[in-house]
Structure 1
Amino acid sequence: MNSTELDELMKRLKRTLEYVAEAFPDRLSPEMLWNAGSAVLREAIPLNPPPDWAESLAETTLIDWYALLIEDSDLFESRFNQREPSSLQARFTVMDATALAEQLHSDSPLMTGAQRLAELLTAANRADLMITRLHPSDFYLYEDRLDADWESLLGSARNGTDRLLSTYELGWMHPALRKREIPPELTPAAATTHTYAYWILHTLTRLPPAANQASLLDQIERFRVYNPHLPNALRAWLRTWLRLPADSRQTPLECWQALQALVHDCETQSEIAIARHETGGESLFGRNKRSHQNEDMLVILNDVPGATLLAVADGVSTASLGSGGQASFTVRELAERQRRTLTERLDALAASDTWEADGWQLIEEFFENAHQAVVDKINSHLTEDAESPATAETMSSTLVLALVRGNRALIGHWGDSRAYRLSPQGVVRLTEDHNVEMEALLRSRESRYERSDQGAALVRVLGQCRYDPQTRRFAAVEQKVSRDTCLLGAEDWLLLCSDGLLSGLKGESETEKEQRLLALLGRHHESHCRELARQLSRAADDDKGDDNITAVLLRVIVDDDPQTEHRAAK
């Protein structure tokens, strides 16, 4: 039946009901007539009826086409004919990265659609249906109601083995399905929830298909390269729900509830303009390090109550013109030389109404000055008889710098020195490394991601320069400072560290190393930041100790915090 025929049918039905109502005004109510008309329509026009296991969702989740047809035939026609533009895929592909990040709030269309989809998939799991493939074009979101291409969805659930090949190529599957067969220990909940979580990741980041599970895990670690506006805490959520054990019984609805809790936490975080800061740092040579100096450096400027500047620099040890230690030490020299000026600016920022803009300006200027200072140090090594300086490996250094006012931190960085937010609940990495692998990932956003063989080579560092044969000197290469921010809660620590800290801790994967970090935090969480930094550094030294190790910590102290005096005493 086409739209013209349907419209004519509705008009005839309306006239018939009007005649009947006029003929029997005392015996037939409008409600009785509508119920009778609804029954006729249900038999005459099967409108994509949901399966029996989804009937329980009719009142809250699924769109009721029959009711809409009876109540407003024009609205029914416009919506039913717009199914494809209303698909979950179409709804969000029109948004850029910023708009997608803004969808992570409690009442957004994305969160509403995610909830409805989670309810539907959970109902399918309870009916023992395993969804091995989930494509957002099969689902349609109308305001706060969902409709589905039931044939496609049920085909995925009942013929999962036939769909494993295409699913595997897309990367939308539980890792237990890697052998292209459904193992007996794989529960419907584990497979479906994994698939659901992948839809969230794919929608928010527009990631290219993962070649395999290892590539998918790499994408989780680097998801903010594709959408830098997303909260860092989302990484922990993705890790949990995209690494479910095959026998897990956690449902898509529980997955959505965890995402909603994360969104709620982000929404309810509030900025505190005035608070005291506890700080501490430690830098170790590394007992198994094969070099002659500690090429790490740290800076802590905390003379202004409530406004603190922290920095960690790690000299790159491959230089033939100068040394990594000289490059990182140049940063500390700059901070000491400008200490008075920096303190005055921090004092102004503590009371500023435009402190964030002014803070970013301070960070950008510090990076620019430090960058130029390292290049000047490189040029000081040039001599008249120097051979082929254009091919020399010039000294360089990473730099991660945090400016904290109250409980808000502004973080800029170059290289692979990192910033983390630590809490008893987990470890959140705040920065992404600047290396060859990351640059390749940035260049190949629309293609299949593959790991680079030269992932460790840094591409954005202090001292990045080019030799000018006319002036016979090196000139600094302009680079963009990566920006990150975070709010620190009462149980949070801000950690800046060189790569030697995480690489030195025991663990095969980054997740395992972060779990080791979390365990150390649990044992020493009542310690002062100085002692905690010492314990973290010593643990990395004891585990491997094959690199310089530096850790700098900051914790926000609210005056009514009952632990303040206890930690201060320690």
Structure 2
Amino acid sequence: MKTAGRTDVGRIRQVNEDRTVVLPEQNGITVSIVADGMGGHQAGDIASQMAIEAIAEQLNLLSSEMGVEQLEASVRSAIEQANERIYDVASSKEQYHGMGTTVVVTAASENALVIGHIGDSRAYKIDKEQLVQLTEDHSLVYELVRSGQITKEEAEHHPRRNVLTRALGTEPNVVVDVHHFNWTEGDMVLMCSDGLSSLVDSETLAAILRSDSDLETKVDELVEKALEAGGDDNITVVLMVNVKEQSDVQGGDAV
């Protein structure tokens, strides 16, 4: 598995509330996590950091010998436990009251791709044919799209597009969306916070991902496109490619 990632504070925000980590391939599984903290003065950066630490701790011992159902259960359990930790801290300390975070988690082997998420941070897959969004935003505008009240194009510019219907740490219990997908050699996954997806359209994403550039260059180009479009939010990007040889493109430290 080859991976590369970057996070950027953007052009407007003073604090980067995004966090990401990639756990190097171990026992045939590579785990990637992206979290986008919410709350601003209510310590969104604390929530996102707690999320990736708690989830990474739980998923550090996954194995490709696990079946897909076991992988899904492990990802769901890790996110649920992270939710409990964040909620407990937010409830017990006044300065953290109301803090929360989005999260998207990918656990991938050569043959299995399992993704769990809460909020509007996204995962996409690109293969030889198309770019497909694998996650559905837990947001007000997505509910409007699902009910047919607005189109996807209208949702991209809706004034309330950042209003979440589900987040990690804001309630004692949370429903986690977990799914598995077809995943073959050469396929690529893009994970990102909405600092990228809300500013760069799918056609541009696909063009960059299909280019002949190496992974680090693709990541940089994606971040630069978001900055050129205004950079009004923190921007985080992680790319993962299904290849057999190991790579040290991205280490396991949080950034």
- The TM-score with structure 1 as length reference comes to 0.39
- Runs (4+) of structure 1 moved beyond 6 Å? none
Give the deviation of 1:284 after TM superposition.
0.7
2:34/2:52 contact within 8 Å kept: no
1:280/1:531 contact within 8 Å kept: no
- In the other structure, the counterpart of 1:514 is 202
Distance 1:440 1:429 in 2: 18
- In the other structure, the counterpart of 1:311 is 33
What are the superposed Cα offsets for residues 472-504 of structure 1, whole Å, 9 maximum, x if unpaired?
xxxx1x222112322233332111110111223
Q: What is the one-letter code of the residue matched to 2:242? A: V
Match of 1:493 among 184, 188, 192: 188
Q: Does structure 1 residue 300 correspond to structure 2 residue 17?
A: no
Distance 2:91 2:178 in 1: 29
- In the other structure, the counterpart of 1:468 is none
Give the deviation of 1:422 after TM superposition.
1.8
Q: Does structure 1 residue 375 correspond to structure 2 residue 87?
A: yes
Which structure has more strand as a fraction of its residues?
A: 2
Match of 1:538 among 208, 220, 224: 224
- In the other structure, the counterpart of 1:333 is 53
Distance 2:109 2:79 in 1: 19
Q: Structure 1 335/481 Cα, relative in aligned 2: closer, same or farther at 3 Å?
A: closer
Q: Does structure 1 residue 433 correspond to structure 2 residue 147?
A: no
Match of 2:69 among 347, 353, 357: 357
Q: Does structure 1 residue 460 correspond to structure 2 residue 180?
A: no
What are the superposed Cα offsets for residues 159-199 of structure 1, whole Å, 9 maximum, x if unpaired?
xxxxxxxxxxxxxxxxxxxxxxxxxxxxxxxxxxxxxxxxx
1:422/1:494 contact within 8 Å kept: yes
Distance 1:376 1:530 in 2: 37
1:131-530 correspondence to structure 2 within 5 Å? 277-287=1-11, 289=12, 291-317=13-39, 319=40, 322-335=42-55, 338=57, 342-343=59-60, 345-346=61-62, 349-352=63-66, 355-382=67-94, 394-439=98-143, 444=147, 449-451=148-150, 454-465=160-171, 476=172, 478-505=173-200, 513-523=201-211, 525-527=212-214, 529-530=215-216
Q: What is the one-letter code of the residue matched to 2:98? A: T
Distance 1:514 1:312 in 2: 19
Which structure has more helix as a fraction of its residues?
A: 1
Give the deviation of 1:297 after TM superposition.
0.7
- For the pair shown, which has the larger CA radius of gyration, 1 or 2? 1
Give the deviation of 1:440 after TM superposition.
5.1
2:120/2:139 contact within 8 Å kept: yes
Report SS of the residue matched to 2:163: coil
1:37-76 correspondence to structure 2 within 5 Å? none
Distance 1:479 1:359 in 2: 19
Give the deviation of 1:531 after TM superposition.
3.5
Q: What is the one-letter code of the residue matched to 1:517? A: L
Gap runs ≥5 in structure 1: 1-276, 384-391, 466-475, 506-512
Task: Say how many residue pairs are matched.
Answer: 242
- The TM-score with structure 2 as length reference comes to 0.84
2:55/2:79 contact within 8 Å kept: no
What are the superposed Cα offsets for residues 255-292 of structure 1, whole Å, 9 maximum, x if unpaired?
xxxxxxxxxxxxxxxxxxxxxx11111101112x2x32
Report SS of the residue matched to 1:397: strand
Distance 2:163 2:231 in 1: 21
Q: Structure 1 436/543 Cα, relative in aligned 2: closer, same or farther at 3 Å?
A: closer
What are the superposed Cα offsets for residues 4-54 of structure 1, whole Å, 9 maximum, x if unpaired?
xxxxxxxxxxxxxxxxxxxxxxxxxxxxxxxxxxxxxxxxxxxxxxxxxxx
Q: What is the one-letter code of the residue matched to 1:312? A: V
Distance 1:369 1:294 in 2: 24
Give the deviation of 1:335 after TM superposition.
4.3
Give the deviation of 1:533 after TM superposition.
1.9
| Larger RCO (CA within 8 A; separation ≥ 6) | 2
Q: What is the one-letter code of the residue matched to 2:10? A: G
Q: What is the one-letter code of the residue matched to 2:44? A: G
Identity of aligned residues (%): 30
Give the deviation of 1:455 after TM superposition.
4.3
Distance 2:119 2:3 in 1: 23
2:29/2:64 contact within 8 Å kept: yes
1:101-120 correspondence to structure 2 within 5 Å? none
Distance 1:398 1:325 in 2: 11
Gap runs ≥5 in structure 2: 250-255
Distance 2:2 2:205 in 1: 20
1:286/1:545 contact within 8 Å kept: yes
2:25/2:31 contact within 8 Å kept: no
Report SS of the residue matched to 1:463: coil
